[in-house]
Amino acid sequence: MSSEGISQFDLIIAGVGGQGTILASDIIGKAAVKENMSVRAAETHGMAQRGGSVVNHIRIGCELGSMIPLKGADVMLALEPSEALRYIDYLAEDGVVIVNTASIHPVTVSSGHCTYPKIDNIIAKLKESRKVIAFDATALASEAGHLQSMNVVMVGAISNYLPIPSETLLGSVKTLVPQKTVDINVKAFELGKFQL
- What residues line the site for other proteins (CB under 8 A)? 3, 5-6, 16-17, 25-26, 29-30, 32-33, 36-53, 55, 64-67, 69-72, 82-83, 85-87, 89-90, 105-117, 125
Contacts of 166 (CB under 8 A, 6+ apart): 159, 193
Rounded to a whole number of angstroms, the minimum distance from the CB of residue 73 to other proteins is 12
120 vs 194, beta carbon nearer other proteins: 120
127 vs 194, beta carbon nearer other proteins: 127
86 vs 196, beta carbon nearer other proteins: 86
Rounded to a whole number of angstroms, the minimum distance from the CB of residue 140 to other proteins is 18
Contacts of 127 (CB under 8 A, 6+ apart): none
Q: Which string of b and e fits 126-152 if b means at least 16 CB within 10 Å?
A: beeebebebbbbbbbbbebeeebbbbb
Rounded to a whole number of angstroms, the minimum distance from the CB of residue 196 to other proteins is 25
Rounded to a whole number of angstroms, the minimum distance from the CB of residue 54 to other proteins is 9
Beta strands in the chain (DSSP E): 9-16, 39-42, 53-60, 73-78, 91-100, 131-135
Bridge partner list, 97:
76, 132
65 vs 165, beta carbon nearer other proteins: 65
What's the full length of the chain, in residues?
A: 196
